[in-house]
Amino acid sequence: MHRFQTTAVHAGREDFGDLCVHAPPLDLSTTYPIADLDVGSASFDALVGGHASAANPIYARLHNPTVARAENAIAALEGTQACVAYASGMAAMTAVLLDRAQHGKHVLVVRPLYGTADHLLATGMCGLEAEFVKAEDIASRLRADTALVVIETPANPTLNLVDIRAVVAAAGSVPVLVDSTFATPVLQRPAELGAAYVLHSATKFLGGHGDVIAGVVCCDETRAAPLRTVRAATGALLHPLAAYLLHRGLPTLKLRVEAAQANAQVLAQRLSEHPAVSKVFYPGLPGAHGAHLVGTQMRGPGCLMAFELRGGHDAAAKVMASVKVMTAAVSLGSVDSLIQHPAGLTHRMVDEQVKAATGITAGLLRLSVGIEDVEDLWDDLAQAMAASGG
C-alpha cells in the first residue's frame, strides 16, 4: 500500500493506462447507448440496486465514470471500501438519514455541528426523532429504535473534539456517522476508529479552491449500496464537472492542509494574546476542548479556529468589514482565508438557546486559515481588530 501523498496523486487513475490518457477524462453524457436490451435491463437493475458499476451506465443519474473515479480516490484516502458522492454535503447527510430511517426512527446527536445539519435533524425533515446529547451520555440514551449516532469532530464552529473511539464503543451496534470535514483524511481517518460513515462537505478542503460544491460519504460496500439507491431515487447526484474538479484538487490536499495548519498555529497563539480577544477556540492551544486527542485521534490541530471578541456583535461586524487580505464569506477549506460570523450566518437557523449553550455567541468569528503568508494574515487581522476598536 502506498503512503498518503502517493495515493493522493494516483488514486482514481487506475484505468488511465487502458484509456491512454494522463488527465482525468470528463464524461458529460446524460445517457448512454444501449446496444443490447438484456444487458441494458440487467445494468439498470444493478445500478438502481446500489451496485458501484454495471456493464452499461444507462443514465447519468445512475452512474458516471468521472464521478466514480473521484469516489474511488477519496475512498482510498479515507481507507474505506467505498465512497458515494452527492451534489453537496447536506445531500450526503440527507441520504444517510433517509437510509437509516428504514432501520429506526431515533438518532442521537452531539452538538455543536454545522448549523444546517443541526436544523435538518432538529426539525425531523427526514422522518427521524433527533435527541441531542453529550458524548458521555450516548450509552445511556440508546433505544431499541436508535438508528444512528451523529457527531462532528472537530465541531463547527467551536472546534470541540469528540473521542470517536469512545463514541463508537458507547454506541455498540448502532452505526456512528462522523462529519470529518474540518479534519480531512490528512489529519483524521474515522473509519480506522470504528466509524460506520465518514462524511465530508467536499466543497471544503477536498475541493480546496472554492469552485466545487460536493458531498461524500465513505463507508464499507454494504452501507454504500443503499446510499447509491437513495441517490438514484432522489437525484442528488454530483455533476461530472464538479467531480472532475474535486478529483483534480486531491493531489495537493496534504500540501494545502499542512501549509494552512502551520499558519493557523501561529495565528491562534497570537490571537490568544491579543487584548481585543476574550477566547480562542483551537485544538492546538493548551486547555482546548479535547486537546488530548491531538496527536492520537488527529495528526494535528487543523486549519480552523474561532475567536470571541470582547466587543461582541458590533466588533465582529467591524472586523468582517475591515479585513482586506481575508475574505468575509461563509465556507472554509479553500486556499484563501475566509472569516465569517456563525451566529449570524452558518448557524443562524439554530435555536438561540442552543447557540448560547454551545458557545456560539454574538462576538464569535470563525476563521478558515488559507495558505497565504502568515505575516500578511496577521497584519490583516490586527488592523481589522484595531478598526473595530479592539
Which residues belong to the active site?
61, 114, 179, 204
> 241 to each of 22, 50, 101, 254, how far by Cα in Å?
17, 22, 31, 22
Rounded Cα–Cα distance for residues 214 and 8 (Å): 18
DSSP string, 214-269: -EEEEE-HHHHHHHHHHHHHHT-PPPHHHHHHHHHHGGGHHHHHHHHHHHHHHHHH
- Beta-ladder partners of 218: 83, 198
Counted residue by residue, the chain has a size of 390
At a CB cut-off of 8 Å and minimum separation 6, what does 16 contact?
22, 24
Running DSSP on this structure, what letter comes out for residue 369? -
Neighbour count for residue 62 (Cβ, 10 Å): 20
Largest interatomic CA distance in the chain: 72
Rounded Cα–Cα distance for residues 162 and 155 (Å): 8
What is residue 152's three-state secondary structure? strand
Grid cell, residue 290, equals 479535547
- 354, 118 contact by CB (below 8 A): yes
**Residue whose entry in the numeric block shows the C-alpha cell 444501449:** 34
> 183 to each of 59, 161, 173, how far by Cα in Å?
34, 10, 25
Number of Cα atoms under 13 Å in the Cβ half of residue 285: 24
Grid cell, residue 291, equals 486537546
